[in-house]
Amino acid sequence: MAKKKSGKKSHPLYRFIRFMVWVVFPKYTLEGTENLPEEPAVLIGNHSKANGPVALQLYNPRESYTWCISQMMHCKEVPAYAFEDFWSGKPKYTLWMYKLLSYLIAPLASFIMTNANTIGVYRDKRILRTFLESVECMQEGADVVIFPECYTEHNNIVHEFQRGFVELARLNYKKTKKSTPFVPMYVCPSLKKLVFGKPVYYNTEADPKEEADRICNELMAAISEMAYAQPRHKVVTYNNIRKKYYPENVREDEKETL
């Protein structure tokens, strides 16, 4: 039964919605769970549209809280964010329909996001609240889940990672004197899998900017390698493209030989 960080049970309607999603959402298998450290970790994965957040809420074997953009947690802010992020690239003649849809989903979307195991992510000075809440969750024994991709393409598996989330490791060290493990995670809807890789530990003595670049580059490389190691499949990308344009998990240098 889903619970909030305070120990208070989530709303009965949310629990019903979660159950119905569990019924209809594909059942995922887990690989690499032996790579999950004993201590709380930060799980970093490819977004894979909505598949990543939903799959982690349903099938993560450990208690966890997922970073969620704050606009999706406030009913009045949902329409503008949802339209821009989800549907602004749709054909022009359909935009009116998606504009209307963005308003229709707002009450339900904000209700779900505030009742799920989420941590609001703010893009202003309130971002400190995001980090403090994340550290608190880890101190209580839970993992923090982050999908940090942006719209800049990295390769055929992942998009570039936004660097800001790595700052969580510095704050966590100040609070606990422990190095934060970042666990790479490949979300694979095509094969209905969640694949966990070996953790990458933050070096508290390194230059923060250089360390953020190292952490992100190693995580993107690890996720890519986990994807390439899987059987041939279509990769569900971060950006909104038609299914027929989904890339395959084939290395760029191997495509010419196929």
Tens-digit pLDDT profile for residues 119-155: 999 988 899 999 999 999 999 999 999 999 999 999 9
Least confident stretch, 39-43, 175-179, 185-189, 191-195: 175-179
What's the pLDDT score for residue 255?
66
Q: What angle do CA 17, 26, 232 make, to 5 degrees?
A: 150
Under the banding of pLDDT at 50, 70 and 90, the label for residue 8 is low
What's the pLDDT score for residue 1?
33
pTM of the entire predicted model: 0.92
pLDDT at 22 over 80: yes
Under the banding of pLDDT at 50, 70 and 90, the label for residue 2 is very low
Could you state, in order of their start, the residue ranges of all structural domains in the chain?
A: 25-61+144-257
What's the pLDDT score for residue 64?
96
Here the tokens at position 147 are 């999908």
Which CA distances in Å does 231 have to 33, 131, 193? 19, 37, 11
Least confident stretch, 31-35, 106-110, 191-195, 242-246: 242-246
C-alpha 50/C-alpha 214 separation (Å) is: 27
Q: Which residue has the tokens 């900017």?
A: 209
Rounded average pLDDT over 73-81: 95
Q: Which residue has the tokens 């360390």?
A: 211
pLDDT at 9 over 80: no
